[in-house]
Amino acid sequence: MIKRVQTKKIFVGDVAVGGDAPISTQSMTYSKTSNVEATVEQIRRLHFAGCDIVRCAVPDMESADALKEIKEQTSLPLIADIHFNHRLALKAAEVVDCIRINPGNISAKWKVQEIVKACQERNLPIRIGVNSGSLEKMFDDKYGPTAEAMVASAEYNIKYLEDLGFDDIKISLKASDVDRTVAAYRALRPKNNYPFHLGVTEAGTLFHATVKSAIGLGTLLLDGIGDTMRVSITGELEDEIKVARAILKDSGAVKDGLNIISCPTCGRIEADLVSAVAEIEERTAHITAPLNVSVMGCVVNAIGEAAHADVAIAYGKGKGLVMVKGEVVANLDEKELVDRFVFEVEKMAEESN
């Protein structure tokens, strides 16, 4: 249903970003990058969680030096996150798959030229990462920390690279609040066709980061904006990927596994729906076929939802119906419904493979 804005396709290692490539998920290690063992372990955890691209901070030369060994022990595409210091970028560019750097933060043009040359030699893209907390002074002075300032900063940094003959670019425009983030991405989107990396920055701990990121990234995904994304959480790595994937799925941007439609609690419910749905979630977690299923506690909306669901349960008093593609296939006691439902889901998932 969502029509994605068509962007230029670039490659971060073997992961395509933009164009018709699937929207990828990213995260960032929080170990000292100079600690190879810890960083490799975190990258492995991210890989296992389903992360597509990983980023490491490179605040010093020990970290830049460590990247080679890290690359040798991991297979996820690696982005070096660099600020201010062009020598760190040159060192990182020898081994990583992408550099995140804002040219405007590098003190001299010749230094940026050296970085661009190093990236061109190895076909590395550059992410321009505009952040509301680290805007160039000239834009902060002129506009304050607004979406306009972020867009102006992005345009300035894009032009900086384009003037040097470099256009292997992706762009992020992260603010620490949702409406500025959304406003900035929306304003910049019509002005170029570079792929966008989405994120709400510094979104806080798990619960509020989930809500902020779902609002901000979800709003943009519904607009068709976004080619890769990170959910920033003051918390654990796996959660960033779990939430990112949920946003992709629940916005409708990606079809992946069961979309479970289930009632809220209300006084019409005839069954222990919470337990039933929890059991179904657990028993169908392995299924990747994109199926729409509904588990409904009373007749008011159940038949309507079931008619358009691949597999459905409609609970009645002590018993209920299992429906497949809108047709009733079984009328069973309440305690037999989940088993039959899971059976039908597994059958349909197998047939769709």
- In 3-state terms, what secondary structure has residue 275? helix
Can you tell me whether residue 75 is helix, strand or coil?
Answer: coil
Stretch of 87-95, 151-159, 241-249, 325-333 lying at the interface with a second copy (CB under 8 A): 241-249
Q: What are phi and psi of 100, to 5 degrees?
A: -100, 115
Asked if 135 is part of the footprint of a second copy (rule: CB under 8 A), the reply reads yes
Shortest distance in whole angstroms from residue 72 CB to a second copy:
18
Q: CB of 323: closest distance to a second copy in angstroms?
A: 13
- With CA atoms as reference, report the closest residue to 78 among 49, 110, 39, 113: 39
| Tokens 């490799």, located at residue | 40
- Please state, in angstroms and rounded to a whole number, the distance separating the CA atoms of residues 243 and 332: 36
Minimum CB distance to a second copy, residue 74 (Å): 15
For the CB of residue 262, give the shortest distance to a second copy in the complex, in Å. 5
Judge contact between 261 and 309, C-beta under 8 A. Answer: yes
Distance CA 275, CA 13 (A): 43
296: β partners = 314
Out of 12, 17, 28, 92, the residue judged to bind a second copy by CB under 8 A? 28
Pairing type for strands 126-131 and 98-100 reads: parallel
Which of 25, 39, 172, 228 is in the footprint of a second copy by CB under 8 A? 39
- What is the secondary structure of 205-221 as a DSSP string? SHHHHHHHHHHHHHHHH
Q: Coil, strand or helix: which one is 197?
A: strand
Stretch that binds a second copy, among 4-12, 236-244, 325-333, 334-342 (CB under 8 A): 236-244
Question: Which stretch in 219-227, 319-327, 331-339, 341-349 sits in contact with a second copy by CB under 8 A?
Answer: 219-227
CB of 8 to a second copy, least distance (A): 25
Instruction: Give Cβ neighbours of residue 348 (< 8 Å, ≥ 6 apart).
Output: 289, 291, 310, 311, 324
Six token digits for residue 341:
């439902």
Stretch that binds a second copy, among 24-32, 154-162, 190-198, 335-343 (CB under 8 A): 24-32
The C-alpha R_g of the chain, in whole angstroms, comes to: 23
Candidate ranges 45-53, 91-99, 171-179, 188-196; the one touching a second copy (CB under 8 A): 171-179
- Pattern 177-216, a second copy, x by CB under 8 A: xxxx-x------------------xxxxx-xxxxxx-xxx
Least distance from a second copy to the Cβ atom of residue 34, Å: 8
Site string for a second copy, 315-344 (x = CB under 8 A): ------------------------------
For residues 113 and 176, which CB has a smaller minimum distance to a second copy in the complex?
Answer: 176
Q: Which of residues 52-91 bind a second copy (CB under 8 A)?
A: 55-59, 63, 81, 83
Degrees (nearest 5) of the Cα angle 312, 318, 319? 35
Least Å distance, CB 134 to a second copy, is: 5
By beta-carbon proximity to a second copy, the closer residue of 9 and 255 is 255
Q: Within positions 265 to 304, which residues make up the interface with a second copy, using CB under 8 A?
A: 265-269, 273-274, 277-278, 281, 294, 296, 298, 300-304
Residue 18 contacts by C-beta under 8 Å, 6 or more apart in sequence?
7, 8, 9, 10, 170, 194, 195, 227
Number of residues that make up the chain: 353
